[in-house]
Amino acid sequence: MRRLAAAFVLVMVCAPAAQGQAPYRVDWGDAVSVLSAGVAALIPEATKLPKSAPSCGSTVPCDPASLPGIDRVALHTFSGPAGTASSAVLAGLIGFAGIASFQGATPAQRRGHVAVFANSLAWTFAASDWVKVIVRRKRPVLYTAGGTAAAGDPNSQRSFPSGHASVAFAAATTYLMMARREHLPHQTRNAVLLYVGALGVSALRVSAGKHFPTDVLGGAVLGTGIGWLTAKVHPTEP
């Protein structure tokens, strides 16, 4: 996954940059969009979705042999501090992405960056939550002795994709797209740091026993896609 991230950054940074781009437009549509995403993201938690029991039913803990080999590593690493650290690193990553996007930007560009970041992160969060509900993948805890106690918690069936990984890669990709579009300074260095941070968040989620490796890989793909699309299609000033 590190090699894929490095290759992505190199391709994006080395691609020809557009010249003379107008700043992103900020209007009431952004507020409506972000609010809608926020409401959509809250529905699964507010309604306790999914409501049905884990698919392994009365046989909890589930059988680890049913997992792909790459995912079984997550059953041996349950670190509380790693879970806390993953949230702290994610918060720092988002803050760094925002500050980096302000460097060398005009006031109009900065306002646009805030709008694009807000849309990207809000919709990534909402999309991650709904994919979790639809896929209903069981978290690592359900394959352990603690699975019986966790079976009644709807969150124990929201493993794929990793929301932390999704948001981390969305923030990194959104920054990179905006930095390239508007020729922000230190874009290569900042992008590399952001993607390394996103990989760190992903690794910590696995170390914490919150997700499987394929969960964070799915989150990376989802976040990268939404981050790219949001920065690409957001309206600009005439």
* Cβ atoms of 167 and 90 closer than 8 Å: yes
Residue written as tokens 């699975």? 147
Instruction: Decide if 210 contacts 136 (C-beta within 8 A).
Output: no
For Cα atoms 95, 96, 98, give the angle at the middle one, nearest 5 degrees: 65
Q: How far apart are CA 90 and CA 158, in angstroms?
A: 19
pLDDT at 76: 84
Contact between 185 and 225 under an 8 Å Cβ cutoff? The reply is no
Q: Token digits for 20?
A: 């003379």
Residue 15 corresponds to which amino acid? A
pLDDT tens track for 97-126: 999 999 999 999 999 999 999 999 999 999
Q: Determine the residue type at 5.
A: A
CA 139 to CA 127: how far, in whole Å?
A: 18
Q: CA 233: distance to chain centroid? A: 19
Q: Which residues pair with 24 in a beta bridge?
A: 236
Q: How high is the pLDDT of residue 21?
A: 78
Computed over every residue of the chain, the mean pLDDT equals: 91
Q: How far apart are CA 23 and CA 158, in angstroms?
A: 38
User: Alpha helix (H) ranges present in the chain?
Assistant: 2-14, 28-46, 80-102, 107-135, 147-150, 163-182, 187-207, 213-233
Q: Looking at residue 105, what is its pLDDT?
A: 95
Angstrom CA distances, 143 to 55, 61, 218, stand at 12, 5, 20
The one-letter amino acid at 160:
F
pLDDT at 169: 98
Can you give the pTM of this predicted structure? Answer: 0.90
CB 206 within 8 A of CB 150: no
In degrees to the nearest 10, what's the CA dihedral of 61, 164, 215, 194? Answer: -150
Half-sphere exposure of 224 (CA within 13 A, CB side): 16
Would you write out the chain's pLDDT as a tens digit for each of its 238 residues?
Answer: 444 444 444 444 444 434 457 999 999 999 999 999 999 999 999 999 998 989 887 788 999 999 999 999 889 888 889 999 999 999 999 999 999 999 999 999 999 999 999 999 999 999 999 999 999 999 999 999 888 889 889 999 999 999 999 999 999 999 999 999 999 999 999 999 999 999 999 999 999 999 999 999 999 999 999 999 999 999 999 8
